Amino acid sequence: MATMRAAVVHARGGPEVISVDEVPRPEVGPDEALVRVRACALNRMDIWARTGPPQPVFPWKEIEYPVITGGDIAGEVEAIGSEVSGVKVGDRVTIYGGLSCGTCEFCRRGENSMCPHYHIFGEHTQGGFAEYVSVPAANLEPLADSLDFVRAAAIPAGFGTAWRLVETAGQVTAGDLVLVLAAGGGVGVAAMEIARCAGARVYAGASTEGKREKALAWGAVGAVDTTQPFSKQVLEMTNGRGVDIVVDSLGATWPESIRSLAPGGRLVCCGATLDNKPVFDIRELYQRHRSIRGAPMGNRSEFNRVVRMVGQGLLNPVVDSVFTLDQIRDAHRRADSRESFGKIVVTM
């Protein structure tokens, strides 16, 4: 049996529960491709696979150990199944992480993440912190030759989700004022970049001074401290008006996010990193014509678009740091520090 090296999470705990082990190399099904992983970026779900999430992760069950995580993958096609077409060995690819039935009403209209059978590659399957992964060939997306594997690995979850938040749910237009919370995370940095590309003025929310300074250097026109009630800061910076869009992946910040919105503003959310049961006065919502829109992940069309835009140089992923597979524990420690700005990438 062919084997490979992979980062295996054996139990809940600190980075020490991860080890780089020799494991069976995945086999390729008729409609699958074997991808040689060159780089894979960390997401919050990879950390939660080790630590446990702050609250139950709706709607999926508890993690079963041992597990290999990792969904933000870039690499080369090593082999293809007998029924695969349009993909060849040697192709440089990244992976769209949404897995769905392909036949329900939502899949037929291109909304994979609305599928009742929706799940995510690398969270509910063997992931990419390994030398090889077996992937549905239909989920492969070609990479521009100009795009290196490290930057490509920084695209999938962050930019796909951010596009859904800012463009599709947020309906951003040139001149809009946009507040992005958790601005140093993968989704946050991507959301700032996409909003700026659309011609919006971007404000950043972050919990540390270092991240706020980096956001300002990156192009934010103002920054707020999310460890404090921040709506007053937002209103002061916008001359009492408020912002048109708040990108909120934290959950506990909803009351302040809603108060930061201008009349008719949109709160777009993709997570509940801090709390999944915020308490707010609904009169602050409907009396000012505000709305809340969920956007958990981009669909395939949106994913294709952001990959092309990065390849064309229109969007620019931010890489915080790069580690090797043997340094996977250090990569997790960097994520645990909460000091990273942009994506933490592991190369194989």
Give the burial string for 86-115 (b: 16+ CB within 10 Å, else e): ebeeebbbbbbbbbbeeebebbeeebbbeb
Beta strands 32-41 and 72-80 are antiparallel
Q: Which residues are within 8 A (CB) of 61 and not within 5 positions of it... i.e. 6 or more apart? A: none
pLDDT over 80 at 53, yes or no: no
Q: Which residues are within 8 A (CB) of 209 and not within 5 positions of it... i.e. 6 or more apart? A: none
Whether 76 and 92 have beta carbons less than 8 Å apart is answered as yes
Which domains are present in the chain? 3-154+318-347 (3.90.180.10), 159-294 (3.90.180.10)
* Residue 56 CA, distance from chain mean position: 19
Mean pLDDT along residues 32-59? 86
User: Residues of the chain with pLDDT > 90: what percent?
Assistant: 86
At 105, the pLDDT band (50, 70, 90 cuts) reads very high
Residue 100's pLDDT is 92
Residue 254's pLDDT is 94
At 140, the pLDDT band (50, 70, 90 cuts) reads very high
At 181, the pLDDT band (50, 70, 90 cuts) reads very high
pTM above 0.75, yes or no: yes
pLDDT over 60 at 57, yes or no: no
Structure token pair of residue 177: 């004022």
Residue 60's pLDDT is 56
Structure token pair of residue 167: 């463009």
What secondary structure, in 3-state letters, does the chain show? CCEEEEEEECCCCCHHHEEEEEEECCCCCCCEEEEEEEEEECCHHHHHHHHCCCCCCCCCCCCCCCECCCCEEEEEEEEECCCCCCCCCCCEEEECCEECCCCCHHHHCCCHHHCCCCEECCCCCCCCCECEEEEEHHHEEECCCCCCHHHHHCCHHHHHHHHHHHHHHCCCCCCCEEEECCCCCHHHHHHHHHHHHCCCEEEEEECCHHHHHHHHHHCCCEEEECCCCCHHHHHHHCCCCCEEEEEECCCCCHHHHHHCEEEEEEEEECCCCCCCCCCCCCHHHHCCCCEEEECCCCCHHHHHHHHHHHHCCCCCCCEEEEEEHHHHHHHHHHHHCCCCCCEEEEEC
Give the other-Cβ count within 10 Å of 51's Cβ. 15
Mean pLDDT along residues 293-309? 93
Give the burial string for 120-145 (b: 16+ CB within 10 Å, else e): bbbbbbbbbbbbbbbbbbebbbbbee
Structure token pair of residue 309: 């835009």
Whether 134 and 157 have beta carbons less than 8 Å apart is answered as no
Structure token pair of residue 327: 């340094």
pLDDT over 70 at 59, yes or no: no
Give the other-Cβ count within 10 Å of 278's Cβ. 18
Residue 333's pLDDT is 98
Half-sphere exposure of 150 (CA within 13 A, CB side): 13
Q: Report the chain's mean pLDDT, rounded to a whole number.
A: 94
Mean pLDDT along residues 48-76? 82
Residue 320's pLDDT is 97
Residue 123's pLDDT is 86
